[in-house]
Amino acid sequence: MAEQRKWQVLFLSKISPENIKKVEEVDPGIKVYTAKSVTEANDLLPKIDIVASLGWEFPKEAFVKAENLKWIHSLSAGVDALFYPEFLESDVLLTNSRGVYDVPVAEHAFALLTSLTRGIDRFYRFQMERVWKRSTITEMDGKVMGIIGLGSIGREIAKKAKLAYNMEVIATKKRVRGNEPNVDRILPADEVDELLRVSDFVVVATALTKETEGMIGADEFKTMKDTAYIVNIARGKVIQSKAILEALNKGWIAGAGLDVTDPEPLPSKDPLYEAPNLIITPHMGAQAPQDRHEQRTVQVFTKNLRAFMDNESMPTLVDRERRY
């Protein structure tokens, strides 16, 4: 009998023994290693077949050393950090963790919107100043929600907007194919101006690609209602930093919530910190309790792993051309 193929899997992430066991149970030939960094895993890299890692934690220097690599699984939905030439010129497969972050990111988007519309940021500032002071507020119920990028996170935002806030939901999608639950109107990606024109609230949830980098600039902000709010939970480079600063300072829009910025981390002297009606959070929208996050991550990874072992289509395979 031929010796069974051994598959060496490296997680550059904390993972519990219970979840390591779940991965190894997919096939008796699987062996899982864990490490806190590629430096710690340096001696393992040449024999590793599969890496599960955040994109920016697996640089090209590590990729080159992993000469036996067949597949990278990104532990985040975004994969732009992995598109260095060495990867693009290889046959290594790439999957991501889309679906894992839907709930926490959608909740974070609405936390930012609620804080902005109900003036929570202002009231907290008044509290710290020991001042009893009121301020104007607005409502979200029954308004128009525009979602730029109707992926799995966008769908979760649409569900919450429709079911919790009774909103009319409009979204852009690169390929429009029929109807979507909780979405009243789907526009092609190149009709984003129409979405911006009619929306009271805009959530940017698109992948970062050559087409989407810098897609929201001064002209786009001027297209929006001056009573509208925008939230970015995608990537900082989708919105032009100078343009959003100008839009807030000149009152082109009512306010903004940014969980992502360009650059990151945002330097302490960056003028965005002083922009009016802006709430910044340090790229933590995807954060969730460790046990729930790890459970979701392992579920997505093992689904892909079973498909990989059976030579079937992998559920979250990333298209090299579209980059998502």
DSSP letter at 37 equals S
Has residue 3 got a pLDDT over 50? no
Render pLDDT for 189-238 as a digit per residue (tens, 0 to 9).
999 999 999 999 999 999 999 999 999 999 999 999 999 999 999 999 99
Q: Which of 108, 235, 293, 323 is catalytic?
A: 235
- Known active-site residue 264: yes
Has residue 266 got a pLDDT over 60? yes
Mean pLDDT, the chain, integer: 95
pLDDT of residue 78: 83
- pTM attached to this predicted model: 0.84
Nearest to 207 by CA among 320, 307, 58: 320
Render pLDDT for 168-201 as a digit per residue (tens, 0 to 9).
999 999 888 888 999 999 999 999 999 999 999 9
pLDDT of residue 39: 95
pLDDT band for position 50 (cuts 50, 70, 90): very high
pLDDT band for position 14 (cuts 50, 70, 90): confident
pLDDT band for position 288 (cuts 50, 70, 90): confident
Residue found under tokens 């690169």: 174
Numbered ranges of CATH 3.40.50.720 in the chain: 7-100+289-309, 102-280
Cα separation, 315 vs 267, in Å, equals 38
Report the share of the chain in percent with pLDDT over 70.
98
pLDDT band for position 291 (cuts 50, 70, 90): confident
For 155-191, b/e burial (b = at least 16 CB within 10 A) is bbbbbbbbeebebbbbbbbbeeeeebebbebbbebee
Calculated CA dihedral for residues 74, 303, 26, 71, nearest 10 degrees = -40
Render pLDDT for 125-162 as a digit per residue (tens, 0 to 9).
999 999 999 999 999 999 999 999 999 999 999 999 99
The tally of CA atoms less than 13 A away on the side-chain side of residue 174 is 11
For 203-219, b/e burial (b = at least 16 CB within 10 A) is bbbbbbbeebeebbeee
- CATH superfamily for 7-100+289-309 is NAD(P)-binding Rossmann-like Domain (3.40.50.720)
Q: Which of 118, 122, 185, 283 is catalytic?
A: 283
Has residue 164 got a pLDDT over 50? yes
The correct answer on CATH 3.40.50.720 for the domain covering 102-280 is yes
- Known active-site residue 67: no
Query: What is the identity of the amino acid at 7?
Result: W
Q: Which of 264, 292, 312, 322 is catalytic?
A: 264
3-state secondary structure of 285: coil
Render pLDDT for 78-116 as a digit per residue (tens, 0 to 9).
898 999 999 999 999 999 998 999 999 999 999 999 999
- Known active-site residue 108: no
